Each structure stands twice: as structure tokens, then as C-alpha cells.
Structure 1
Amino acid sequence: MNIDYRIRSADGYTKNIGELVGMLEHTRAVTLQEINDLSVEQLDFIMTSGGNSIGALLKHIAAIEKAHQLISFQECDFTKEELEIWEDALYLGEAGENNPW
């Protein structure tokens, strides 16, 4: 897959929103390309010096997107039940390290 690294305005939007959508689409394409061939073991690997796994960072991205969707489109926050699912991914660190994704 060849990725076009030029920022272009996505069709159907104003110029600035189109550029933002284009950047988000580019980020998604690059992320998917980079992780496409990784094994579960590679996604779950945590360096001995600490940090978060690639899998934890991917779930963090999903959790932040979910939070923004709730706030922007439904004008609400996570319910208690939703927060139980997403909380570790929102904060990462020890919370992310101690939760199998």
C-alpha cells in the first residue's frame, strides 16, 4: 500500500474541516499499515523498562475517540457501565499495564 503524505482537503467539507478529515484519514491509513503484520505477542509486548504496549496505545486511541463522540454528538459523558469498559484505556500507565486488552 502506497500512502500519499500530502495533506489534501477531503471532498464534501469546507477547506479546513476537509484538511482535518484528510489528516485523520491519513493517520488511520499509516497506523493500519504499520500494525498490519504484527502478531498478538508483538501488540502485547511491554518493554522491561516500562511503558505501554502497542495494543494498549491502540485501545487508548479508540477510548479517546469514543469520549469525543459522546461529548460532541450526544452531549454526554461515559455511563458508569461504559466507563468500566474504557477507563483503563483512557488513563494508560499502571491502569493500562494491569488490564489485559
Structure 2
Amino acid sequence: MAIAALSSGITGLNASERALGNSAHAIANIGTQGFQPTQAVFKENAPAGSGVSISFQAQQLQAADAPSGTDLATETTNSLVYKAQFDLSAKVIQAADQNIGTLINTKA
């Protein structure tokens, strides 16, 4: 069970890291004319409880001479959420690591 928690935590870290990178990319291109950011979409892996995966969904394209489609307020909020997800995934890994240590010490 602790190994499954480690796996879930790691997939959560990876997905959160990719989502943060995507949000940072959108913010970095806020001044780029015609830039269309992608939206991170999280999905639970099968079977349930085995982690999370992420995909990116493109937004509707605008004309090339249109201003950037990046909404700074949305991206800032998303960044805070992704950071919290990352921190929680790290806590899952930390707890699983402690449980594995306890199991090993008990059997030693």
C-alpha cells in the first residue's frame, strides 16, 4: 500500500510540475500577439487511486493580429492551485516514505 501511495504521489508531483510549467509559459507570452495558451486537464489514472495524468487542451484560436489570449488573473490563480497540488503530493510521498520505514524497522 505504501508503494502505491509513493506512485500516486510521484504522478501528482509530475502532473503539477507540468501544469506549473504550462502556466509559466502562458504568463511569459502574455505580451505575444496572437498567443493562445493551453489549459491543463487532470485525469485520474485507472485503476482508481493509482495516480493522476495531465493533458493540455488548446483554446480557440484567434486572429494572428489579436492580442495574447492569456488571462493573467486566471494563470496566477492556476499557479497557486498547482503549487498547492505539488505540496500535497510531496506530503503524500513523505508519509508513504515514513510508513515504509516503519514497516522495515518493524520486521528488522
Q: Under TM normalisation by the shorter chain, which class is it? A: 0.3 to 0.5
TM-score, with structure 1 as normaliser: 0.33
Q: Which has the higher contact order (CA 8 A, sep 6+)?
A: 2
Larger Rg: 2
